[in-house]
Amino acid sequence: MVRRASIRLLPLLLLVLLAGCRADPEIEAWRIINSYAYPFPWEVSVTENQTGQEAQPGETLKIDYHADVDLSRYTERYGQFTEIIVAISGERRFDRNGYYRVGPNSYALSSNFTAAGLPIERLDGWRRYRLLQGDGGSPFEGVSSYPLTKGEAAKRHQFDGVLEIALPADIPEGYYEPNLSVLVRVAGVAEPVHLRSYGVNWNEAPKMVLPLVQVGKPATPQMPWSLFAQEYQMGRSGVLPEEMKGKVELVARSGFNSDFILRPGQYRLNPGFPSLFPHVHLAPVDGGLEVVPERIGHQLMLDHGQVACVVNGPDGKRDLGVKRFTGANEAGPELEGGGFAVDMRQTGRYEISLTGTVQDAFGRRFNGGGTYVVHIAMPITFSTSCKPGSGFIEGDKYPPKVNLIPSVPGEVEVVVEYYPNSDEARKQTWIGRGRANRFGHFTTHGQPALVFTEPGEYLSRVTAQFVDAEGRLWMGQQTSVGVIAPREPEMKLHGTRSFAYGNRVGKDYNGAMKQFRDRQDLTTSFLPYTPSMLPDPYAPYDPRDTLFIPSNGYNESLVEPHLSMSFDDPLLRRRFTQAYRLASHLVPPAHQSAQGAWEYLRDVVQISTDSFAWFPADEGVIDELPILPVADGPYHPFAFPENNRVDAYTYMGVVRPGFPVMTSIYQTDAIGLYWLASPNRYGGHFNTSLNGDLAGDVYRIQAGAVVLDHENGRNYYDAYGAAIVVIPSDGQATEILSPGEQPLITFNGREYDIFLAMDTHDAMEVGETIHVGGMVFPAIEADAVWHITKPSGEVVVSRAKANRLGIARGDTAVPIDEPGIYSIQANVFYEGLEGDIVGTTDGTFWHCAVPPGNVSFLQTDPQPVKKIDPAQGVRIPLRWPATLRNVKIHYGVMMPGQVLDQGVIEPDGQAWEYPFEPLQVATQYPNVDVRNYADGELELADTVVFQFFVEAEDGDGKVVDSLRLALRKSTLYNFPALMNGGRNTQPSHPH
Amino acid sequence: MVEQQTQENRRSGALPHALVWAVAVVLYLTVGFRFASLFALEFRALMTNLSLDKFTDTAWIPWGENLLRFAAAPLFLFFIIALLYRLLARWNVAANPLANRSFGFRILIGAITLLPYTAFCWFAAQVWAVWISVEVFWWIQWYSHIDPAMEWIRANVPLVAAPSLFLTGVWLWWLAWPRKTPATRTRSVFRWAGAVVLLFVLISPLTLGLLRFGRIGFAPGFSVFERHCGQCHANARPLYFIKTPAEWRRTVKRMRKLENVPLDDRQEARVAQFLLGMRSFSDEWTFNTRCRRCHVTSHRNWEKRRPEDWAAITRRIARYSPYYYRPDVQNQIVQHLTSARSAPDAALGLDPTEYDAYQLIDKTCSACHALSRQQERYRQISLEEAEQLVRRMSEKMPEPPTEDRIQSLATGYREMIGQPELLRRLFPHDEPVLSGGPSW
């Protein structure tokens, strides 16, 4: 008996499938209806049992189909259609061991990894077929064609055919997910064109899938099930079981993968299915998520299965029993009773064992789950010298300095894994451990630094833990990955040239604009859809240039940080150009001229599918190549990477001071890798609000490319860093300009053409060392000079020339050998331009030092954790014993990347208070978030650190003390009170 | 008697009849068809935008456009012709051939004119909704309110606008028919005028739509726009956007430059002017949307100020929302206030030297501070303390002031800070806005 089922529009797949699978006699076939394919919708019906639930290598599957392709809207503008092609391509969904594998698209999961073990993502453009294009295909393929007579294309074509899928004898065993497409061959165009690519929303269509086919005798599929997918915090969204490590991982767009840390609370545990509901598994970085489907077609019966759960936490082990699946909502499957309720208010490490099975429509079993590790803790965030995605140059030392926020003396561990030449066998692990000082400042003193002696890759992970007096765990973790680039790289990584306006492929300036003014003035469409006519601004081709982009609050300004590579060596250039060359490509409809014949590109390389970056594949001159792997054979190098001739990927970490805006490890031509300047949720990090960026915000795009040439046994690396500056939405156009053409930012009436971003106002202890260094904006090889005046008056000068990534590290370390204020004047110089530290008058700020074990006498009142009213702000009272004379208070208030206020005051009496009024500060610094411009409500978002240092005299001489508080969003953290069990600090005499 | 007069009129020849028809046709071509084409363009803009959704077919859009272009023509022609005949009959120039017609004839004319008009109404109502949403868009301050409002208008306004337009058409049709008992001219004019006012008041969507209709009605450059702006992109595409006049001018200039659009300066100006009429707002209207949402009538009592002082006030309110009061919009407000309420030497009745001193304090301090907050903290400040304060602040200034300047700043600061009323008069909107005004 042949069961029949039906698919009506993929979003409704499941419901109809469930109905159909119960032997509904009226349902005749799997029907794939591609309404998305406007102007040429099509429908293909396939009898279900013919798709073959099982097959053996070497076997040929035959699938009868009936196709109904509506070409009635065809006009001669499209060129002459000569043939309709129905094609099927199988993605290996589970391998022979039952583990999930990605196809050409990774969506939220990846089974491909860097040398350092982090997942690589790829969101390909149009599917390629070995049987049609000769590359980029799958061993599971079949094509069938239907000829079109000249002059008769413009009608509805209904025809029957057979798809023959000849499985090679060496096809990797596993479960294959057949995807159907309909293409046309166009006279004079080298490669067939997907019918869907004549429509406008080419990258949002669902996958047209048929039931999984088991090839060979693979193990039972192990589905990657997630937990906490909807609890996105600090850039993470969901966690996979430990058993999946190294097999499949969730990709991360808002911070590289790290331990999953959640705030204390009561949660409901429901397994998430990232392979079927990928959208919910990406912490939202607004922009680009639309290409990640909300759900992918499947044949699972999500009310046929069950899950068992045991939670082992700091409060003991709890067996939560077994629950059945009851169905699915838009975010994933649901368990009876809404899932397992679990109280996780106690901080600490939890191991959650959640395992189960689910069946598909054919009764096949899919296992899922495993052991999940989750940390429940109050959040610690960081200011680190190595930002997520930082690149290094061969010979650099890893900078382990960390400031914790809130400023607690937490246990800090910095682990760096260094892979010289990407060789896992030569991996070096460097660990720096210790306790931060009582102001949250940590660095490794006396421990030899890790020197990156040769090009390669690294992964660093900073973990901080602190248990307060009430026993609550505070925890944070930050991961950075990137490359160590050679001093003189053979492969050069750079941005991608942008277009002046639109994409007029035939025009001279297409792909030739390195810098531009007045490119586009984006404004808001009051109608529901914003046309995708304008390409998004790319990362500056020349990293010394700056991309200026307006913040307009309404979805228009976005950044697509496409990077490309080039080779000076003509042989390498030719080899990679040939590997990446596309014989033909249809220019997307939005970029076709409104009148005249449609344009098909010939002989191009493609940097990105959805933002229209193609460049002529001219081997002689091309200097913009995608960073892609090259397969050894006709299979897709991301879906079947086992025998790639070349592996290649790009690390990218775009940081705004204080948090990662977007992170990704990806292969070029990833579509949808962009973000909106405003509004944007930015993964729920601190230091950003729903407003996204405001004028005055700056970014640094940090990237590193890795090309592993297995064929020649050579690897190529390069790093890239460039600046983006957010400007007011004044109708001015997006611009890419060279240094000095336009001030980067204007604060307090000062215009900054260039500036240095570095930590200021650190609080240290005598015996530590000051290492000066920072990030020059824009990323130029500027000269940096630091004049450090010690409390004794001694002046030490430290100098540096920023490297080509714009990173400057001073040549002189200054030992802290006396308590007091270490005043530092920092200046940068570049070709007649001068700059210093944003928010200061002339680049002067200070660090302070107290003796180790210094008895604290400076008191303040705020509760350990206090919510403040954005309208009123907060007044931070400081008190000291009456016996002190000549009290001098130095105060410094800073936000990541800039100083907000600093000064010295000599108050009378024994108390003084510092008023912090966010509304007032925002008049001075428009990038301080005080209001949600979506609804007008007052709302704080930034991290602000208050550093106080007191010098005074008592009967025994000079005494000093320091106090550091932090504001994150509207929560003020008073570290001394945290240490004292929630009570305010008590007065104590200094001696 | 009446019969005899009619006979005489009919004998007056064919010329008046030819004139009536000619005038009607010319009026249609110059006014009716022009507006119908604008309707069609707006409709195209709406539908091509909606078609960007992956499911929407666009093949029927030209059909809808043509319907908008031509379906109201019979009613328009009938109305004009009937009206002219009534006037001619009143002036005894020619007999009204529509008078004393049978019921069947009236039904026939009704079918010819009103049936296509009925279809027109539904399509035109979509355009009406677009016009209303353009108006409303410019008023909404917080962007999360924009999408729901636009969506609501698109979904609901046609439901009211379509019957309103239809009733208006029927009413005009009814008005145009000759009456059996002719009214006096005076009564007729009043009746018409009264009915028009009544209708507009009662049917507010029509009134709102007509507001925009009035603005775009005579926007020049339509034909230049139609001819040149559809070469590269769908020519309705610019109408997806609402921009300030300055932004539109920049856009057109850039298109001309980068795409080598064959426009001369005059044509460029006309295209910009067309877009201004369709998708932009005058300085005064922008002032109304931004300022009169709170200062509904009180703005009439505002004192005259110098243009630069208006600019400073506008910059302060922009702290409320950098998007709603973005720099281009600020410029429009300032331009309006400059033309309506400014004088180069205005000093709010204060001594000009004193006024200048206060403004200097504002320029010096307001880059970093709201003076009103300063007032809360330092109202009782002594001269010595004021000097200390200014001296401390001057250390943070990019260009530290001279000693004399410090003295004068401190003196002026102290005087000003001590007078809350004066401060409010001098520097409106200095205090950060916490609440107030419409929530949207």
Which residue is associated with the tokens 């932009």? B280
- Quick one: DSSP state of residue A791? T
- Give me the residue from B50, B231, B392 closest to A594, CB to CB: B231
Residues A47 and A160: beta-carbon distance below 8 Å:
no
Res A19: pLDDT: 36
Q: How confident is the model at residue A16 (pLDDT cuts 50, 70, 90)?
A: very low
Any idea of the CA torsion for A605, A607, A611, A617, to the nearest 10 degrees? -20
Is pLDDT of A515 > 80? Answer: yes
Find all residues with CB under 8 Å of A908, minimum gap 6, and list them: none
Q: Is B372 on the interface with A (CB under 8 A)?
A: no
- Give me the residue from A504, A729, A903 closest to B323, CB to CB: A729
Q: How far B429 CA lies from chain A's nearest CA (Å)?
A: 12
Is pLDDT of A815 > 90? Answer: yes
Percent of chain A with pLDDT over 90: 68
Is pLDDT of B106 > 50? Answer: yes
Residue of A nearest to B129 (CA): A527
Res A30: pLDDT: 65
Domains and CATH numbers, chain B: 2-216 (no CATH), 221-279 (1.10.760.10), 289-435 (no CATH)
Higher pLDDT, A14 or A321: A321
Is pLDDT of B9 > 60? Answer: no
Mind listing the pLDDT tens digit for each residue in A624-649?
Answer: 999 999 999 999 999 999 999 999 99
Mind listing the pLDDT tens digit for each residue in A788-807?
Answer: 999 999 999 999 999 999 99
Q: Residues A677, A680, A681, CA angle at the centre, nearest 5°?
A: 150
3-state secondary structure A446-462: CCCCCECCCCEEEEEEE
Is the backbone peptide bond immediately before A778 cis, with ω within 30 degrees of 0?
Answer: yes
Q: Burial letters for A322-331: b for 16+ Cβ neighbours within 10 Å, e otherwise?
A: ebebeebeeb
Task: For chains A and B, count residue pairs whose Cβ atoms are closer than 8 Å.
Answer: 184
Cα separation, B114 vs B31, whole angstroms: 20
Instruction: Tell me the residues of chain B between 246 and 265 that have a Cβ less than 8 Å away from chain A.
Output: 246-247, 250-251, 254-255, 258-259
Q: How far A5 CA lies from chain B's nearest CA (Å)?
A: 24
Mind listing the pLDDT tens digit for each residue in A33-50?
Answer: 665 677 898 889 887 665
Cα separation, A612 vs A674, whole angstroms: 13
Is pLDDT of B422 > 60? Answer: yes
Please, is B398 exposed, middle or buried when counting C-beta atoms within 10 Å of its C-beta (0-12, 13-18, 19+)?
exposed
Helix (H/G/I), strand (E/B), else coil: A45:
strand
Higher pLDDT, B179 or B316: B316
Higher pLDDT, A893 or A670: A893
Residue B75's nearest CA partner among B175, B199, B225, B204 is B175
Res A950: pLDDT: 96
Residues composing chain A: 991
C-alpha Rg value of chain A to the nearest Å: 30
3-state secondary structure chain B: CHHHHHHHHHHCCCHHHHHHHHHHHHHHHHHHHHHHHHHHHHHHHHHHHHCCCCCCCCCCHHHHHHHHHHCCHHHHHHHHHHHHHHHHHHCCCCCCCCCCCCHHHHHHHHHHHHHHHHHHHHHHHHHHHHHHHHHHHCCCCCHHHHHHHHHHHHHHHHHHHHHHHHHHHHHHHHHHCCCCCCCCHHHHHHHHHHHHHHHHHHCHHHHHHHHHHHHHHCCCCHHHHHHHCCCCCCCCHHHHECCCHHHHHHHHHHHHHHCCCCCCHHHHHHHHHHHHHHHCCCHHHHHHHHCCCCCCCHHHHCCCECHHHHHHHHHHHCCCCCCCCCHHHHHHHHHHHHHHCECCCCCCCCCHHHHHHHHHHHHHHCCCCCHHHHHHHHCCCCHHHHHHHHHHHHCCCCCCCCHHHHHHHHHHHHHHHCCHHHHHHHCCCCCCCCCCCCCC
Q: Is B360 on the interface with A (CB under 8 A)?
A: no
**Least trusted range by pLDDT, from A503-512, A583-592, A637-646:** A503-512
Global confidence as pTM: 0.91
Q: How confident is the model at residue A1 (pLDDT cuts 50, 70, 90)?
A: very low
Helix (H/G/I), strand (E/B), else coil: A975:
helix
Residue A320's nearest CA partner among A340, A343, A350, A306 is A340
Mean per-residue pLDDT of chain A:
89
Q: How many C-beta atoms surround the C-beta of residue B194 within 10 A? A: 10
Is pLDDT of A938 > 60? Answer: yes
Is pLDDT of A428 > 70? Answer: yes
Q: Is B322 on the interface with A (CB under 8 A)?
A: yes
Q: How confident is the model at residue B399 (pLDDT cuts 50, 70, 90)?
A: confident
Res A984: pLDDT: 41
What's the token pair of residue A566? 């080039």
> Which residues of chain B make contact with A731, given a CB cutoff of 8 A?
243-244, 246-247, 250, 326-328
Helix (H/G/I), strand (E/B), else coil: A311:
strand
Q: How confident is the model at residue A577 (pLDDT cuts 50, 70, 90)?
A: very high
For range A368-384, the mean pLDDT: 96
Please, is A6 exposed, middle or buried when counting C-beta atoms within 10 Å of its C-beta (0-12, 13-18, 19+)?
buried
Res B261: pLDDT: 83
> What type of residue is A827?
N
Q: How far B98 CA lies from chain A's nearest CA (Å)?
A: 45
Q: Residues A571, A574, A577, CA angle at the centre, nearest 5°?
A: 145
Is pLDDT of B149 > 50? Answer: yes
Higher pLDDT, B252 or B211: B252
Res A8: pLDDT: 34
For range A565-575, the mean pLDDT: 95
Identify the H or E element spanning A414.
strand A411-420
Mind listing the pLDDT tens digit for each residue in B335-352?
Answer: 999 999 999 999 999 999
> What type of residue is B282?
S
Any idea of the CA torsion for B72, B75, B79, B80, to the nearest 10 degrees? 50
Q: How many C-beta atoms surround the C-beta of residue B322 within 10 A? A: 23
Higher pLDDT, B9 or A598: A598
Helix (H/G/I), strand (E/B), else coil: A509:
coil
Residue of A nearest to B370 (CA): A920
For range A285-298, the mean pLDDT: 84
Residues B285 and B278: beta-carbon distance below 8 Å:
no
Residue of B nearest to A845 (CA): B396
C-alpha Rg value of chain B to the nearest Å: 30
Q: Which of A9, A12, A527 to mutate: most B Cβ within 10 Å?
A: A527
Res A907: pLDDT: 92
Residues A618 and A601: beta-carbon distance below 8 Å:
no
Identify the H or E element spanning A798.
strand A795-801
> What type of residue is A848?
C
CB contact under 8 Å between A529 and B133, yes or no, is no
- Give me the residue from B46, B133, B240 closest to A531, CB to CB: B240
Q: How far A950 CA lies from chain B's nearest CA (Å)?
A: 18
CB contact under 8 Å between B241 and A502, yes or no, is no
Cα separation, B352 vs B2, whole angstroms: 79
Higher pLDDT, A811 or A518: A811
- Give me the residue from B133, B321, B395 closest to A526, CB to CB: B133
Find all residues with CB under 8 Å of B40, minimum gap 6, and list them: B64, B65, B66, B68, B69
Mind listing the pLDDT tens digit for each residue in A839-855?
Answer: 998 999 999 999 998 88
Instruction: Compute CA A787 distance to the chain's CA centroid, rounded to the nearest angstrom.
Output: 37
Res A508: pLDDT: 52
CB contact under 8 Å between B367 and A924, yes or no, is yes
Strands A763-765 and A844-850: parallel
Strands A265-269 and A698-709: unpaired
> What type of residue is A256?
F
Q: How far B135 CA lies from chain A's nearest CA (Å)?
A: 11
Is pLDDT of A192 > 50? Answer: yes
Higher pLDDT, A511 or A885: A885
Higher pLDDT, A780 or A519: A780
Res B164: pLDDT: 85
Res B180: pLDDT: 63
Res A4: pLDDT: 32
Residues B128 and B155: beta-carbon distance below 8 Å:
no
> Which residues of chain A make contact with B55, given a CB cutoff of 8 A?
35-36, 38
Q: How confident is the model at residue B438 (pLDDT cuts 50, 70, 90)?
A: confident
Q: How confident is the model at residue A484 (pLDDT cuts 50, 70, 90)?
A: very high
For range A355-370, the mean pLDDT: 93
Which of A124-133, A371-380, A672-681, A688-697 has the highest mean predicted lDDT (pLDDT)? Answer: A371-380
Is pLDDT of A10 > 80? Answer: no
Q: How many C-beta atoms surround the C-beta of residue A205 within 10 A? A: 19
What's the token pair of residue A42? 């099509």
Res B197: pLDDT: 67
Strands A392-393 and A378-379: unpaired
Q: How confident is the model at residue A286 (pLDDT cuts 50, 70, 90)?
A: confident
Q: How confident is the model at residue A511 (pLDDT cuts 50, 70, 90)?
A: low
Percent of chain A with pLDDT over 70: 91
Cα separation, B362 vs B308, whole angstroms: 12
Is pLDDT of B187 > 70? Answer: no
Cα separation, B88 vs B83, whole angstroms: 9
Res A855: pLDDT: 84
Find all residues with CB under 8 Å of B1, minimum gap 6, and list them: none
For range B8-32, the mean pLDDT: 81
Res A14: pLDDT: 37
Residue of A nearest to B388 (CA): A905
Residue B171 to residues A469, B102, B123, B177: CA-CA distances in angstroms?
81, 20, 19, 10
Res A446: pLDDT: 84
